[in-house]
Every structure is written in C-alpha cells, then in structure tokens.
Structure 1
C-alpha cells in the first residue's frame, strides 16, 4: 500500500509510566496524509502523551508508530521529520522575528544566506513582513503564535504537532487564530496533529476528531460525524450539544420502539439499522439540543413528534439562541437551544411547565 509522507498510523500503542500508570491503552488509529487531526479529551486522558510519542519525545511501551509507512519508534524527532509547537511558544526573547524563525535552520548548519532566504519566504506565508525586525516582547499573543508556527514549519516537517496552541489566548483572538491555523495547514499541505480540551476548537478545525477517555479512543471520525452522531454516552455528553436520556425498552415495533424514561414518560425512538434490542433492555438515547422545540401542554402534536413534560429551571441568553435548561425525565438535565427570534416571540419563564418536543427520527440510539 502506498501512503503519503505525512500518513500516520498508531498500531496497538501503549504507554506506561513508573509505578504502573497506564497513560495510553492499546490505541489504533490512522491519520491521512495532509489531514488536520484534533485529539480531544479531558486532562489526563492520554492525548498529550500520544502527541509526544508521535514527536519522539516519549517512546511507547508497546506498539508501533508509523509515519509515511515507516516505523519511527526509537528514532529522534529530526529523523522522523516532525516538528512540535509548544503551548508556551518558547520564543527567544533576544532574537527578532526573522532570527527566531530561522533558528532551527541555523542548528541544522545551513548557510546564513540560505537561512535568510527560507525565513523571508516563511515570513510572507504567515504575514509577518512588517514585524520581521521586532522582538517577541513587541508582538501580540497572536503574532507570537504565528512566529512559533513559522519556526516549526520552516524545517519542512511531514507532521506538525501542536500542544494546546490556543489555550493562552482570549476568545476573540482564539477564533482568529483558528482560522489562521487552518489557512496555514492548507497552504503548507502537511499533516497537523493538534491536542485540545476545547470541544468547539476541535470541531471547528479538524478533518479528523479523536475523542479520548482514560487512555483509550472512544470515537474517531469527521468532525460532523462525531458531533452529530456520537456512538456512546461519554462522547455525546463530552462534546455537548446533545441531551442523553436513559430508559427501558417497553415495546419494539419494526423500525421503532417505545421507551420508558426515568419518570415513566414514554418516548418513541427509531431503531438503528442492524441494531437489535429486546423489551426490558436498558438503553441510552441522544437528542440534539437544537432539535428540541418547546410548546405549552395541551398543544396538538403531529404523529412523528415525541415529547417530555418538563419544568424550566433556567434561561440563558446566548446571542443567536437562548439556552433553556429543563428538569425532565425524573430529574435528568435536559437542554433546548431555541433560536433567539423564536424564543422571544413566545418566551417561557423559570418554573413554567412545558413540553420538550422533537421529531422521532432525530433521536439516536447509543451503544
């Protein structure tokens, strides 16, 4: 099989630290050449350890790491042709932008003229031409990040690794730098592997999102697939945007089933293709928050709509939508994202009883 130079494959990768702590537990993953991949998960889930193992700063206890079809376990970072951009940026305070960017080439022994030419070309790519003679202290946070990115990219790595690169930025700058990272990745055409604990950051940037828990991959796939079609409760709840209900199957009728939620309210749920369930089985069901509509009790409902009686706990204005938090299904937290205009045309108040409704086909049975 022919693979691109930046194609990454993790095969049965494990990492244990002193004392027997298992940080990464049997990870198998393929990242296509030229993809933008985000590892997403809470602190301690193993995502940064995987990044460091790809880079060559840690070695796996077991398993193989292949880049471009080559097993790189045991090779130093320079031989792997990987580059890493750290969260702190680690710029040299006494060097200007041009010299910071060219520093890696200086270490590799390139001539002064070759370093300067490569640095000037990279400066233009990251749009820092007017700032080339400034010191890091004279730059904004976003400009410093572009310098760090350019310094990592100038070595022409086949894989660029980013360890929570946006965490130190304010929200507005973080959004701008997301766009900058994506633009740079497309222009450079190399594989980016990015570690973050921020859900929105991952789904905004990545071609491939990898959700991790306790050293294992819970789900990996395209951003929309992972967000809109989570496979289990952990992924649905961690990514947000989904309500998760637990219940017990009452009846199964062809492609649908009736499920008793925790307060004994029955909801109708579509049965996934190839999935078999039996009456009495306990299941989890996900419904996207933006698929929920709120109506008053007694409102006639179409046949393809299911509903839960709920009490409004809190209302938060979010700008383009209103977040309505509900006490539904025997105390289970349930949230509706109501478009702003629709909410203010027919607002609800805290303490009010409403029906949380959604089209039956929008519910998803979790594994």
Structure 2
C-alpha cells in the first residue's frame, strides 16, 4: 500500500520551462522528474546556466512551468502563489531591509499577515533564540557580518513555518572558514525545523557535505540523483564523474570478453580487467569510459616489475604537485587527452617525494574501476 504524501513531499512530473516562443524559445528546464521526501535536505548541483535556479523558482511559485506538474504534500501547486504553497525562499543576496532592525526584519512577514503585536514579538523572539542571534535583535543589517546576515535571512524565511524552504546559493558570498561553519548551521537548522530544504549550489563539496539527496543537472536535465556518497563514488556517466570530481575518467577499448569479465586497454599501456556489470553487454572493439577515484591511485617509481595480479598500471610523468594539507594533489601527464590526478596522503608523499617531470607508474586495484554509461 502506497504511503500517503507528507506535508513537505515534493514531486516534479515532466516539468519544462521555456522562455520565448513555443518553437524557437530557450528550454531552461527540460522534462524534469524528481521526488524529494518530506524533511530531506536536497541540493541541486550544476554549473551556471544548467537550470537549477529556474527549477528552484518553479518550486517556489515565482514562475510557472510551461509543461508538467509540481506537487507539494500531494497537491498540484502550479498556479498557486508562494504563501498558498507554504514555501519560503532565502535569496543569495539575503534581501534584508536595510532600515529595519534584526527583530523587525524577522517579524516582517508576520506583521504583513496582521498577527497581534504580542504574538509577533513572541514568535520573533523564539526564532532569534533558535538561530542564536537574540543579542543582535536591535542592530541594523549594515552592522552585521556576512554570517550574521545569513542567519537573519534564514530566520525571516523560516518564521512563516513553510513546508519547504528554498535556498538560492546561500553560501556563495562567504569566505571559506565561514562557509564551513554555516554549512553546519544550515544542517542543524534543517534538523531542528524538520522541514524540507532545497538548496541550489554550483559547489560540489557543499552539496556532498550537506545533502541527503544530491541532484546533478546539465542543460536543463537531471543527469543523476541520489545520496551524496552514491553521487561521489558511483557516478553513472562521464559528465557526473567529471563535474562532481574525485574521479579520473580513462577512455578505453574492449580487448576481449571472457565469461563474466572484460579486458580493457587504455592509453599509457594500461590494462584493466573488469567484472561485467549486470544488464550491460560489451563487445570486442567497443569504446568505453572507465572512472577511477583519485584516492585509489597509488604512485610508485618505475622499476620494470609487472603490476601485481588484479592491479592496473599506467606509465606516466608528474606534471604538477599541489600541497593540500592532509593530502598532496599530484597531476599526471594526460593520457589520450585526459587529465589524471592522484590524491596521495601527505605523510606517504613526503616519505619519498616526487618532483615535476619524474616518471611514475600509477597503479590501482582493477576492481575499483567503474564502467561508465
């Protein structure tokens, strides 16, 4: 028996958004189907122009789709304004009223709804306590730091008790340390409020750190959606592997197929033996892409020895080295036009450090290779 929709469930069914004429217009969102469970933290991830902010505005009710349905709590909300959808949006610029205090900014929507002044004061005070800004109540926005302004904007959006809170690039204006602190704050707030958050970002690490559900978009379409670890560790195609990061993509040719395994050959002399995936048929001579996580690559100096059984080996050179603190990012000469990167633990790297131009052999367990669609 199907479970009844919850208040914050979101479902997009065949949603399209076209700007301009019906035949020559620009298709910003193209046939999106997506389900976001009630109480989830969803991050929509993609480069500029991929349609992620348009999708957010469609859910919010700031725009209507050209085609398709948008359901919140099981009801179609297309055509309804944001208050009737019970959505609230936190804008990238925060859009605080500069002449109003923190207390007045947060309580503004309640005053518009003509709640009694005592009730506005009660709810505003409770919300300021929840986001830990009670001591800032009488300051103006210009007297606040970027992180404090963000808390005020979050409190102002949440005080109307929306079913869905929508966040448009909320961390983009903050420095790196503050971004990390505010990620923790957003996650804490989402858990305490218990409502659905839909957060648009172009920053891969931000999406992976925050989200229960990551949605990767390209050119108005969803390329892959799923839990953060699945998106990072098991991308389904080349675009997701390269955009989300952490993966090397190696173009290969199928040498032969033997029972449940296939032998692949890539640039740099690499040979990879892979178990055949279910529902995927490979034939000799076929061109395929294989993903290998950067932290799965191990680098050794060439000594003429053959790779150990079950390990792939690629002969290359060091192109660049970047110290990243707890690991060292080692860029390798491209193979067949592809950039290769290894993440080497810091202590391991400095035991016998490589320099630019050194010949190396990059090895990894063949079973850690991922065949892309």
Bin for the TM-score computed over the shorter chain: over 0.9
The yes-or-no answer on 1:195 pairing with 2:200 is yes
Name the residue aligned to 2:322: 316
- Secondary structure of the 2:341 match is strand
Q: Hey, what's the Cα distance between the residues in 2 that align with 1:99 and 1:259?
A: 65
- Secondary structure of the 1:89 match is coil
Q: Hey, what's the Cα distance between the residues in 1 that align with 2:136 and 2:157?
A: 18
Name the residue aligned to 2:222: 217
Offset at residue 263 of structure 1 (A): 4.5
Cα deviations by residue, 1:112-163 (Å, 9 ceiling, x for unpaired): 1110000000000000111111111111100000000000000000000000
Q: Hey, what's the Cα distance between the residues in 1 that align with 2:211 and 2:251?
A: 30
The 8 Å contact of residues 16 and 23 in structure 1, kept in 2 or not, is answered as: yes
Q: Hey, what's the Cα distance between the residues in 1 that align with 2:347 and 2:269?
A: 33
Name the residue aligned to 1:347: 353
- Secondary structure of the 1:322 match is strand
Which of 327, 331, 341 is equivalent to 1:325? 331
- Secondary structure of the 2:108 match is helix
The 8 Å contact of residues 267 and 308 in structure 1, kept in 2 or not, is answered as: no
Q: Hey, what's the Cα distance between the residues in 2 that align with 1:126 and 1:330?
A: 51
Q: Hey, what's the Cα distance between the residues in 2 that align with 1:23 and 1:330?
A: 33
The yes-or-no answer on 1:285 pairing with 2:287 is no
Q: Hey, what's the Cα distance between the residues in 2 that align with 1:251 and 1:290?
A: 28
Alignment of 1:266-277 (within 5 A): 266-277=271-282
TM-score if structure 2 supplies the norm length?
0.96
Q: Hey, what's the Cα distance between the residues in 2 that align with 1:148 and 1:112?
A: 21
Name the residue aligned to 2:26: 21
- Secondary structure of the 1:307 match is strand
- Secondary structure of the 1:238 match is helix
Alignment of 1:150-229 (within 5 A): 150-229=155-234
- Secondary structure of the 1:6 match is coil
Which of 134, 139, 143 is equivalent to 1:138? 143
Where does the alignment leave 5 or more consecutive residues of structure 2 unmatched?
none
The 8 Å contact of residues 16 and 31 in structure 2, kept in 1 or not, is answered as: yes
Offset at residue 18 of structure 1 (A): 1.2
Name the residue aligned to 1:8: 10
The yes-or-no answer on 1:31 pairing with 2:33 is no
Q: Hey, what's the Cα distance between the residues in 2 that align with 1:300 and 1:142?
A: 54
Name the residue aligned to 1:98: 103
Q: Hey, what's the Cα distance between the residues in 2 that align with 1:197 and 1:357?
A: 32
The 8 Å contact of residues 101 and 137 in structure 2, kept in 1 or not, is answered as: yes
Q: Hey, what's the Cα distance between the residues in 1 that align with 2:153 and 2:270?
A: 55
TM-score if structure 1 supplies the norm length?
0.98
The 8 Å contact of residues 333 and 339 in structure 2, kept in 1 or not, is answered as: yes
- Secondary structure of the 1:231 match is coil
Q: Hey, what's the Cα distance between the residues in 1 that align with 2:277 and 2:352?
A: 35
Q: Hey, what's the Cα distance between the residues in 2 that align with 1:70 and 1:121?
A: 31
Q: Hey, what's the Cα distance between the residues in 2 that align with 1:256 and 1:310?
A: 26
Which of 252, 260, 272 is equivalent to 2:257? 252
Q: Hey, what's the Cα distance between the residues in 2 that align with 1:141 and 1:270?
A: 51
Offset at residue 330 of structure 1 (A): 3.5
The 8 Å contact of residues 268 and 315 in structure 2, kept in 1 or not, is answered as: no
- Secondary structure of the 1:210 match is strand
Offset at residue 264 of structure 1 (A): 5.0
Offset at residue 180 of structure 1 (A): 0.3
Offset at residue 331 of structure 1 (A): 4.0
CA RMSD after TM alignment = 1.1
